[in-house]
Structure 1
Amino acid sequence: MSATARTGRSIGRGAAGVGRASRRLTHAKGADRTGLGRLIEVTAVHSAGDAFITVSLAGALFFGMPVGQARGQVALYLLVTMVPFTVVAPFVGPVLDRFRSGRRYVIAGTLFARGLLCWGMASSVVYGDTLSLFPAALAVLVLSKAYNVSRAAIMPSVLPADIGLVTANARVALFALVAAGGAAGLGAGLVAWLGAEWVLRIAMVLFLVAGVVAIRLPRHVDSPDEEETAKPPGVRALLNVGPIVAESMRANAAIRIQAGFLVFFLLFLVQDEHLPGLAPEITLGLLAAAAGGGGLFGAAVASWVKSYSPQLIVLSTLALTTITTVVTAFFFSLWTAVAVALIGAFAQGLGKLALDAIVQREIGEEVRSSTFGVVEALLQIAWVFGGLIGLTLSLFAQGTAGLAVMATLLAVSLVWLLVMRRQRKVMSASTAVTVPLRPVAQPPAATGDTKPLTNPF
């Protein structure tokens, strides 16, 4: 008994030490004063809860059924996943913009609602009620995106003076990824030990705790409502984001298409035994580890690139993704597949953080949530589109042919964006040259009482 007590005390002290170290990191460089530290903590718990949900509901979609049937399940999942975003996207952002004076409560509301949905999904898992489980899972997904939109919109209001937007976004993403990775591993063990329904109930507790912490965010997170403008915020966000934001959105959409493609194309290559070298379970684990490591590396690099332009970062990530996909198409093997998964996840993470910084800098607060709503919807739809491409190509294309198709799409996107960027710069330069100069005022005509001006030098 005394040995057990000592072990428990040691674990408790270790957990307390980890908590203190984490708080020192999250609250560094003034983040404790502005509220950024608390926002990081809320986002980390939010990501851990999402990881628990993903682990709880995973498996039935891919494993334990024939590969052909799994393809049908995946296609249905992708299509149904895309529907809520095409329908809800035009409304989520404007609704959040209307409640700028209560953003803390909006963030907390998304967390509380997901907690209640987790309780309902746990009951659905127990009784095998897929009819109610699937809509609840989609609602959780939409609420998760609504949280991300709200969190990104308030980032400038909690930004310390010594931290840039890209760095602050990277710090949030880094802690979120670490929390999600740890929760995924823990959740997998708990599913095997207790069952998926208990993991969902644990996720419910996490979301409820995070909601309480979100309410305690500083009051300056909320901004006073302003008078309604003539044009609805959602329309403004959709039609007038500006060339810089539009370019970054298109580049990130191309990267997200490749990300969705890789997930399902490589998955079914492994299941069809077209990616030899290791056992299928080990190969899938290796690819998943590469993707997770790439995301962490992208967040870490984003915290270092303080002096680089976010637009340059976005285009560089697309170029890196394109080059890696081309090389993998020519030299396709297990290890080049791992490399493209790692680089793709790195580019996806770093490019999205740079895009967030661009939107936070370029878009006014009155329509910022609307713009982030459009961004999240576009990237989700791009990921689904890429997944459908990968799913379709896995039916008849080998690794080299499938990756060659994706490399072509990425190359066309990159060249098109570079050409458009070049044209915009040329037009901007020509406009600056042709602007007429203001006429210089002439000195008054000399009179008999005045002396001509002389050059003192």
Structure 2
Amino acid sequence: MTHAQGAGESGLGRLIELHGVNVAGDAMVAVALANTLFFSVPTGEARGRVALYLLITMAPFAVMAPVVGPLLDRFRHGRRYAIAATMLGRCFATWVLAGAVASEGLALYPAAFGCLVASKAYGVTRSATVPRLLPRGGTLVSSNSRISLAGIVSGALGAGLAGLLALAGPQWPLRAAFLVFLAGMVLALRLPRRVDSTLGETRTTLSLDETGPIPRRSSVGGAVVIALRANGALRAFSGFLIMFLAFLLREEPVGGLDDTLALALVAGAAGLGNTIGTTIGARLRTRAPEAVIVVVLGVATLAAGAGGFFYGVATVLTVALAAGLAQSLGKLSLDAIVQRDVPEAVRTSAFARSETLLQLSWVVGGGVGIALPLDGRLGLGLAAVGLATMLVLTLRSTTRRTLHPADQS
């Protein structure tokens, strides 16, 4: 299945398999850390632990994220080895984490930070690799849809396996993740050699004009920046919901549900939304991506607003479903705009830099989610205001480009 529709000949099939392994390993790490930091202690203590985790791991990453893309640009001639290095780094980090969770040692936090940075670096490098492996007649949207679907399936399998292994002890999901990332390193080295090629590539900036601060670099144009800005808001919304609802539903289960059941339902709704968005994106391909981004921003805004005004089981699940759908469909629409508007010579660099910005947006959203008071109406209401603001900005920018096409850069 991973090698169908020309993916075997182009090498995309190998990247799909690699991404499945990567997501399965990340899911195992996430389950292990959730058990250690969240489920194994009372709510108040759990919030303090996760806040400390965010401070020690996310804050340094927020500083480092802007340089990840430019740093990886310097290794464009060795992307296979860069991806393999992110797998090897997580092998080491998960082994250290396994010992740390068993002994409750301080090594937990630097090892978790290492996993986080390596995971985000993988995402950046993988996004820059996809354009080199497109099947004949294939598009970035359809290829990324296939990669995302493989990630959804393997992530669910990895999380389920980690949950079973956790019954034997908190370190065992991490031991298994070590083996998964080791397999990922081997798969990364087996990617086609052409992913290392930089023939015809040029570095790019994410500016709205051709006067970037770095000489001999190309800007990507206004449409890409507008789409990236909207996707940043959606990615921040996703990070916010994960952190905010995790604590809110544990302390105040919605609708009288058991807290574990409530969290499972929300996670399932988000996963379903992600799957629906990916499936729709594959069918829409490149049709009116700007309009799709506006629509999904509107859907997310309405869902968050409904959750703020009518907080309950149905609205919380709707918010999770809408967030998953909006994030996946919005990202696929961004891919379509990049493929349409960005010259092939700078497309790879544009992917690397845009993915870095999206990862940083998630970090910012997660930080806001952990900092807000645990009030469902307040939190979702503020999220709706933020999304509505971005919706207005996106509509205004898109309308201006439509009415004044000569000003498009």
Scaled by the length of structure 2, the TM-score of the pair is 0.89
In the alignment, is residue 68 of structure 1 matched against residue 55 of structure 2?
no
In the alignment, is residue 415 of structure 1 matched against residue 392 of structure 2?
yes
- Once residues 198 and 253 of structure 2 are traced to their aligned partners in structure 1, the CA distance between those partners, rounded to angstroms, is 58
Checking the alignment, whether the CA contact within 8 Å between 1:121 and 1:136 is kept in structure 2 is yes
> Max radius of gyration: which structure?
1
- Unaligned stretches of 5+ residues in structure 1: 1-24, 433-457
5 Å-filtered alignment, 1:265-304, equals 265-273=244-252, 275-304=254-283
Cα drift, residue 79 of structure 1 = 3.4
Residues 431, 290 of structure 1: alpha-carbon distance in 2 compared, 3 angstrom cutoff: closer
In the alignment, is residue 45 of structure 1 matched against residue 21 of structure 2?
yes
- Once residues 236 and 89 of structure 1 are traced to their aligned partners in structure 2, the CA distance between those partners, rounded to angstroms, is 22
SS of 1:59's equivalent in the other structure is helix
- Give the alignment partner of residue 134 of structure 1, picking from 109, 119, 131: 109
5 Å-filtered alignment, 1:336-355, equals 336-355=315-334
Between 1:272-281 and 1:207-216, the stretch displaced more is 272-281
Checking the alignment, whether the CA contact within 8 Å between 1:96 and 1:369 is kept in structure 2 is no
- Once residues 60 and 336 of structure 2 are traced to their aligned partners in structure 1, the CA distance between those partners, rounded to angstroms, is 26
- Once residues 362 and 116 of structure 1 are traced to their aligned partners in structure 2, the CA distance between those partners, rounded to angstroms, is 40
Checking the alignment, whether the CA contact within 8 Å between 2:204 and 2:349 is kept in structure 1 is no
In the alignment, is residue 428 of structure 1 matched against residue 405 of structure 2?
yes
- Give the alignment partner of residue 184 of structure 1, picking from 159, 167, 185: 159
- Once residues 247 and 266 of structure 1 are traced to their aligned partners in structure 2, the CA distance between those partners, rounded to angstroms, is 28
Checking the alignment, whether the CA contact within 8 Å between 2:89 and 2:114 is kept in structure 1 is no
Checking the alignment, whether the CA contact within 8 Å between 1:115 and 1:208 is kept in structure 2 is yes
Residues 162, 94 of structure 1: alpha-carbon distance in 2 compared, 3 angstrom cutoff: same
- Give the alignment partner of residue 234 of structure 2, picking from 247, 251, 255: 255
User: Which residue in the other structure is 2:382 paired with?
Assistant: 405
- Once residues 351 and 305 of structure 2 are traced to their aligned partners in structure 1, the CA distance between those partners, rounded to angstroms, is 31
5 Å-filtered alignment, 1:318-397, equals 318-363=297-342, 368=347, 370-395=349-374, 397=375
Q: Deviations over 1:192-230 (max 9, x none)?
A: 12x232322221222122211221212222214679989
Residues 211, 335 of structure 1: alpha-carbon distance in 2 compared, 3 angstrom cutoff: same
Q: Deviations over 1:146-168 (max 9, x none)?
A: 11111111211111123221111
Checking the alignment, whether the CA contact within 8 Å between 1:107 and 1:147 is kept in structure 2 is yes
- Once residues 203 and 289 of structure 1 are traced to their aligned partners in structure 2, the CA distance between those partners, rounded to angstroms, is 22
Letter in 2 for 1:401: L
Letter in 2 for 1:210: G
Cα drift, residue 258 of structure 1 = 2.0
Residues 146, 362 of structure 1: alpha-carbon distance in 2 compared, 3 angstrom cutoff: farther
Residues 235, 318 of structure 1: alpha-carbon distance in 2 compared, 3 angstrom cutoff: farther
Cα drift, residue 144 of structure 1 = 1.1
Cα drift, residue 120 of structure 1 = 2.3
Residues 386, 392 of structure 1: alpha-carbon distance in 2 compared, 3 angstrom cutoff: same
User: Which residue in the other structure is 2:219 paired with?
Assistant: 240
Superposed CA RMSD: 2.9
5 Å-filtered alignment, 1:8-19, equals none
Q: Deviations over 1:252-280 (max 9, x none)?
A: 12112222222233233323326223222
- Unaligned stretches of 5+ residues in structure 2: 206-211
User: Which residue in the other structure is 1:85 paired with?
Assistant: 61
Checking the alignment, whether the CA contact within 8 Å between 2:278 and 2:329 is kept in structure 1 is yes
Checking the alignment, whether the CA contact within 8 Å between 1:166 and 1:302 is kept in structure 2 is yes
User: Which residue in the other structure is 2:78 paired with?
Assistant: 102
Letter in 2 for 1:214: A
- Once residues 46 and 234 of structure 1 are traced to their aligned partners in structure 2, the CA distance between those partners, rounded to angstroms, is 35
Cα drift, residue 364 of structure 1 = 5.2
Residues 243, 307 of structure 1: alpha-carbon distance in 2 compared, 3 angstrom cutoff: closer
- Give the alignment partner of residue 194 of structure 2, picking from 210, 220, 236: 220
Checking the alignment, whether the CA contact within 8 Å between 2:142 and 2:282 is kept in structure 1 is yes
- Once residues 182 and 253 of structure 2 are traced to their aligned partners in structure 1, the CA distance between those partners, rounded to angstroms, is 44
In the alignment, is residue 119 of structure 1 matched against residue 98 of structure 2?
no
State percent identity of aligned pairs. Answer: 44
- Once residues 190 and 27 of structure 1 are traced to their aligned partners in structure 2, the CA distance between those partners, rounded to angstroms, is 31
Q: Deviations over 1:368-391 (max 9, x none)?
A: 555444433433333333334333
User: Which residue in the other structure is 2:35 paired with?
Assistant: 59
User: Which residue in the other structure is 2:140 paired with?
Assistant: 165
Q: Deviations over 1:19-71 (max 9, x none)?
A: xxxxxx11111110000011100110111111111112222322343433333
User: Which residue in the other structure is 1:202 paired with?
Assistant: 176
Q: Deviations over 1:389-432 (max 9, x none)?
A: 3334434x3x3333222212111110111112222333325799
Residues 250, 299 of structure 1: alpha-carbon distance in 2 compared, 3 angstrom cutoff: same
Checking the alignment, whether the CA contact within 8 Å between 2:56 and 2:109 is kept in structure 1 is no
Letter in 1 for 2:134: L
In the alignment, is residue 155 of structure 1 matched against residue 134 of structure 2?
no
Checking the alignment, whether the CA contact within 8 Å between 1:52 and 1:203 is kept in structure 2 is yes
5 Å-filtered alignment, 1:309-324, equals 309-324=288-303
Between 1:237-246 and 1:133-142, the stretch displaced more is 237-246
- Once residues 322 and 422 of structure 1 are traced to their aligned partners in structure 2, the CA distance between those partners, rounded to angstroms, is 19
User: Which residue in the other structure is 1:19 paired with?
Assistant: none
Between 1:75-84 and 1:209-218, the stretch displaced more is 75-84
- Once residues 339 and 229 of structure 1 are traced to their aligned partners in structure 2, the CA distance between those partners, rounded to angstroms, is 40
Cα drift, residue 292 of structure 1 = 1.7
- Once residues 192 and 67 of structure 1 are traced to their aligned partners in structure 2, the CA distance between those partners, rounded to angstroms, is 21
Checking the alignment, whether the CA contact within 8 Å between 2:218 and 2:346 is kept in structure 1 is no
